[in-house]
Chain A
Amino acid sequence: MAVHALKVNGLQKSFGKNYVLRGIDVTLEPGSVTVLMGANGAGKSTLVKVICGHHRADGGNMMLAGQAFDPVGAADAIRQGVVTVHQSIDDGVIPDLDVANNLMLDRLVERSHGLFVRERHLRAEAAKVAAAMGIDVNLRARVSDLSVADRQMIAIARAMARAPKVLILDEPTSSLSATEADRLFALIDRLRAQGVAILYISHRMSDIRRIADRIIVMRDGAISGTFETEPLDYEAAVTAMLGHRMTEVDVAVQSGTAPVLELADLRLFHGAAPINLQARDGEVVALVGLLGSGKSRLAEILYGMARPASGAIRITGTDYAPNSVEDAVAEGVFMSPKDRGTNAVIPAFDIADNMTLPFLKGLSVGSFLKANRQKTRAQEMVSQLGIVCQSVGDGIGTLSGGNQQKVMIARWLLEPAKVLLLDEPFQGVDIGARRDIGRHIRATAKGRATLVFLAEIDEALEIADRIVVMHEGAIVGEHKNQNVDLGALVADISGAQSTETGAHP
């Protein structure tokens, strides 16, 4: 191919002293799907944000179809032919308008459109776009009534209405079911045939197997591997993604003492295979699995937010069936949820108030809060976890992501838990804070069972005594965190055993 769709040369980007991109070289070819892999904090999203015009690069340059490309903003990037569909798809659609209006929205914005909407014309055009993209939904349906997959299709169709040269899809399947994802892949196949260069960011091995023409792997702000010869070496790509880092942390594996949490024939939903699992006192168990593997569902059930289809949960031998989060907390089951921004942080509060929120009752006399006691307790946790702040009276918003997450974890270490659930505790956390959190969780593990829900293998290897793999609502593998056979672990996670034959020994 003579002209690359997009050529990125020596791209650099830093935030303060934090070098996020250290000279990235990437090329995207027309009519080809390039998958970008990388662990949290590898710099994937920063790279995408530079390409789609959210950030300006500090160094390096980009060429779009042979022309210099230096977008000054997201709108400029789109105008020049680089379109991005972000992870949160509702950014890409207007929920209260119908499908036809959503598809034609960009047309309505154009100045040349004229004042009045020609309803019939608009619908005819929309029908054409929908047909071209293979979208089969009622054009009069409100977008908010559609499934996530349909909404995603519409967001992509809107993007495609601009006839882009480069289409970036940021974890597009993260909220799709398997059949919904298949429809997305069919659409991607069609776009590839039309000669669009596609950059596809994903962790889901099954997606990657399905659509990748090439794989680029990022680690610590640099490209750590490029795989483009058939057949693609997925195992090597995963290894390149995890790199040497997992060997840096030595976990002294504990097998725990008495069982604390027992799941007996627990079915997460109707038709799921029964789960049997024991977590022991002092043990840190990582539950890993892809999105849709059921680990979030399990966390919700344990924390009283959802009910299992059948089966029993026991804590230290007593039946445990929480009806609400309040019940769970009262029973000594604590959870630090994922996505701290939406689920955990109280933006209006300072560090002390954020941290002590679940246990205010114990920190008050009658109903009146003892502010000093709150401050002291918070101060203790701040020094134990090494939270970097001026004082515990600082607003939570003044902290970096890693320190915010430390506060959210500290919240649940204030009082002894029987079962501590940590859902993606390393999300949006720099590597230093991640080590601190991991070390502290392991150091305090005695006296409780700790369950950590993770999507990333390397994070599991850093923190866990035992790694339990979930796939489609069932437990499909268990690995003691000692000389783990990475190949087998990756195979378990990607569900390779059931879906592919012969690919893995």
Chain B
Amino acid sequence: MNDRLLDFAIRYGFLILLAGLIVYFSLAAPGFFGPLSAAFVLQSVAITGILALGVTCTLVVGGFDLSIGAVATSALMLSAYSMVILEHPTIVAVFLCLAMGALVGFINGILIVKFRVPDLLATLGMMFLLIGLQRIPTQGNSIATGMTLADGTVAEGTFSAAFLWLGRHRFDLVIDRLLPMPVVIFIGIAVLIWLFLGFTRHGRLMYAIGSNERAAALVGTPVNRYKVAAYMISGVTASIGGILLAARLGRGDIASGNNLLLDSVAAALIGFAVLGAARPNAFGTAIGALFVGILLQGMTMMNAPYYTQDFVKGAVLVAALVFTFYLSSRRSGTGH
């Protein structure tokens, strides 16, 4: 009986908590329950969520990617540089960013599988390198139309309407102009990664690598290829996050995206607790991101000061981790 209760708590505890939060805020904060508020929550977690889905893939193969935040801000700066200074069309800017993300992921992967650098250290180094690199072309300045370049000329390019559309367009749903483009992309990526990790043989083999790399290798799994692929997925999703951020801001702001890494890692780790999975999974990651978003939105509407936000996120994360590692370890034999 007790065992069954524990099992139920592990499996549904987090979702019940989430439902409870929604009910509580709906009652306590007028205006919380409604399409506008929901769209706002989704918008606030979309970019973090996209990054979190990428880092989930690296967690699945037993790795970690600390460079995602830096990749996203690099993509932000690169898209601005490409369009404002080099005056590229949208498609080129987007392609450059995605290619940059894939390349960074590839280098991360090679550092890890070929040069045997531990994942945390390799991606930490890459993070540092990118944070520095993205500042060099503009001498540390943000990029905006009309800025004066080092050679004295003025940058005359602009963010194209098509590019800004990616970050600012809102689809009609229930009410006009409700659902922002980044949310649609977030949901799309979440579904893709969920299908990939949960239902394809590639996903299954990646979980096998994360659980016992040697055993996976000894059944003939190309372990290194899958690991590199995981980091490339992570790099590409991070660059998508960066593109959306740039499109929303409409300028290459050097100071944006500071919190992206921590927020998205937190979402992925909170995701371990969802449905008692006790391992990285796409559904959990998306719910984890949403959980944080709902909590913050509700608190903001109840006039909690903004500076308590990080504290709340941290508390949720710690609670989720205890949930995952302590409770699940008491349940014997974790299959799925």
* Chain A positions near chain B (C-beta within 8 angstroms): 303, 324-326, 328-330, 335, 337, 342-351, 353, 357-358, 360-361, 363-364, 367-369, 393-398, 411
Interchain CB contact under 8 A, A360 and B205? yes
Of B200, B202, B222, B334, the contact of A397 (CB 8 Å cutoff): B334
Interchain CB contact under 8 A, A394 and B219? no
Of A350, A358, A363, the contact of B220 (CB 8 Å cutoff): A358
In the complex, whether B152 has a CB less than 8 A from a CB of chain A is no
| Closest partner residue, chain B, to A337 (CB atom) | B218
Q: Mark B212-256, 1 if CB is under 8 A from A, else 0.
A: 101111111110000000000000000000000000000000000
In the complex, whether B180 has a CB less than 8 A from a CB of chain A is no
A–B Cβ pairs within 8 angstroms, 5 of them: A342-B214, A346-B211, A348-B211, A358-B219, A398-B333
Interface residues of B in 291-336 (CB under 8 A from A): 332-336
Contacts A326-B222, A368-B200; is A343 near B215 (CB within 8 Å)? yes
Residues of B within 8 A of A346 (CB): 207-208, 211-212, 215-216
Interchain CB contact under 8 A, B220 and A325? yes
Interface residues of B in 176-223 (CB under 8 A from A): 195, 199-202, 204-205, 207-208, 210-212, 214-222
Interchain CB contact under 8 A, A357 and B216? yes
Complexed CA–CA distance, A345 and B211 (Å): 9
Contacts A343-B214, A349-B207, A398-B335; is A329 near B201 (CB within 8 Å)? no
Q: How far does the Cβ of A191 sit from chain B's closest Cβ, in whole Å?
A: 36
Interchain CB contact under 8 A, B201 and A364? yes
| Closest partner residue, chain B, to A359 (CB atom) | B219
In the complex, whether B168 has a CB less than 8 A from a CB of chain A is no
Interchain CB contact under 8 A, B334 and A329? no
Of B219, B279, B335, B336, the contact of A357 (CB 8 Å cutoff): B219
Interchain CB contact under 8 A, A347 and B212? yes
Interchain CB contact under 8 A, A364 and B208? no
Q: A326-B220, A329-B220, A344-B212 are in contact. List 16 more A-B contacts (CB 8 A).
A: A326-B222, A330-B220, A346-B208, A346-B215, A348-B334, A350-B336, A351-B335, A357-B216, A358-B220, A363-B201, A364-B201, A369-B204, A395-B336, A397-B335, A398-B333, A398-B335
Q: How far does the Cβ of B207 sit from chain A's closest Cβ, in whole Å?
A: 6
Residues of A within 8 A of B195 (CB): 368
3 cross-chain pairs, A with B, having the tightest CB-CB distances, nearest first: A395-B335, A398-B333, A329-B220
Interchain CB contact under 8 A, B208 and A349? yes
Contacts A326-B222, A353-B204, A357-B208; is A348 near B336 (CB within 8 Å)? yes
Interchain CB contact under 8 A, B334 and A395? yes
| Closest partner residue, chain A, to B210 (CB atom) | A348
Interchain CB contact under 8 A, B200 and A348? no
Interchain CB contact under 8 A, A348 and B216? no
Interchain CB contact under 8 A, A335 and B208? no
Interchain CB contact under 8 A, A398 and B200? no
Interchain CB contact under 8 A, B333 and A394? yes
| Closest partner residue, chain A, to B208 (CB atom) | A346
Interface residues of B in 17-50 (CB under 8 A from A): none
Interchain CB contact under 8 A, A394 and B212? no
Interchain CB contact under 8 A, A349 and B200? no
Interchain CB contact under 8 A, A360 and B204? yes
Residues of B within 8 A of A351 (CB): 335
Complexed CA–CA distance, A397 and B211 (Å): 13
Q: How far does the Cβ of B61 sit from chain A's closest Cβ, in whole Å?
A: 12
Residues of B within 8 A of A363 (CB): 201
Complexed CA–CA distance, A368 and B195 (Å): 9
| Closest partner residue, chain B, to A336 (CB atom) | B218
Complexed CA–CA distance, A394 and B336 (Å): 8
Residues of B within 8 A of A396 (CB): 335
Residues of B within 8 A of A325 (CB): 217-220
Residues of A within 8 A of B334 (CB): 348, 395, 397
Q: How far does the Cβ of A417 sit from chain B's closest Cβ, in whole Å?
A: 13
Complexed CA–CA distance, A360 and B195 (Å): 16
Interchain CB contact under 8 A, B201 and A335? no
| Closest partner residue, chain B, to A351 (CB atom) | B335
Interchain CB contact under 8 A, B218 and A343? yes
| Closest partner residue, chain B, to A339 (CB atom) | B214
Of A345, A350, A398, the contact of B212 (CB 8 Å cutoff): A345
Contacts A348-B336, A349-B335, A398-B332; is A369 near B199 (CB within 8 Å)? yes
Residues of A within 8 A of B204 (CB): 353, 357, 360, 369
Interchain CB contact under 8 A, B335 and A393? yes
Interchain CB contact under 8 A, B218 and A348? no
Q: How far does the Cβ of B16 sit from chain A's closest Cβ, in whole Å?
A: 24
Interchain CB contact under 8 A, A335 and B218? yes
Complexed CA–CA distance, A358 and B200 (Å): 14
Q: By CB atoms of chain A within 10 A, which of B220, B221, B279, B332 has the most?
A: B220
Q: How far does the Cβ of A299 sit from chain B's closest Cβ, in whole Å?
A: 11
Residues of B within 8 A of A348 (CB): 207, 210-211, 279, 334, 336
